[in-house]
Amino acid sequence: MTTTDTTVLIDHELSADLAAAALSLARRFQAGATLWVVSPQWEPHAHHVAVEFVHPVIMGKRALPSVSLVEADPVAQCRVATRPGDVVLAVASADQPQVRDIMRRAPAWGADTVWIGSGPRPEHGAATHILWVDSADPMIPATGRFVLMYHLLWELTHVCFEHPGLLKPTADTCTDDGCVTCGDEGRLAEVVAAPSDPFEGVLVRTASGEERVDATLVGDVAVHDLLVVHGGAAITRIGADEEVW
């Protein structure tokens, strides 16, 4: 897509990213997800995204559950609101600290993430889907480029609903709780409550729900610490300045 001055608004790479994000989002909505939207720097974008998805302006289209979270602490809001299977969408620069914290914690909440922004890109893997304008122009968030991206994301998500076969789990999606390969992977967990008795285990939240794990290897833990758990035990702690991707 271009303007009359030949400026490319959506290039081939971003087009592919939008298509992949829309398909993923449609599958999540089909399974009962809610979309939670944050934009600490540009609150109107959070409201606008939520309105687009929840308001079916095209006759016959579905109203999709979407809520903007705009209180002072979006990390705490997302933690309380998000359920396994939900999606958190952020409109923010790559250095926005609250959004970075949400993105690193979302896997422990069982949530997919979509990150829309411009300028220097987040690290690869910082979100499930990164929709980015590679421009150093500080006015990009106010020019309509972001609006165009999430309008296209909304429209493409509805296009996916018109093809029910696309909404089925892919062949490589593991649904076996006893899968040996998945069982051998470390999982991200967020501490819910530290034990009064060290032999009780630590109550943590993972993508599959709450569980107790042995934290002997990592020592004392505090609420909201991020841990990697494996085989019922916490094997390492993720520091506040460490990324999980």
155-197 pLDDT per residue, tens: 999 999 999 888 887 665 555 554 444 455 789 999 999 887 7
123-160 pLDDT per residue, tens: 999 999 999 998 888 899 988 899 999 999 999 999 99
Task: Answer whether 102's CB lies under 8 Å from 86's CB.
Answer: no
What angle do the packed helices 145-161 and 12-30 form, to 10 degrees? 50
Residue 17 tokens, joined: 């990213």
Buried b (16+ CB within 10 A) or exposed e, 142-163: eeebbbebbebbbebbbebbee
Domains defined along the chain, listed by start: 12-167 (3.40.50.10490), 180-238 (2.30.30.140)
Please work out, in degrees rounded to the nearest 5, the angle formed at the alpha carbon of residue 41 by the alpha carbons of 130 and 227: 60
- Decide: pTM greater than 0.95: no
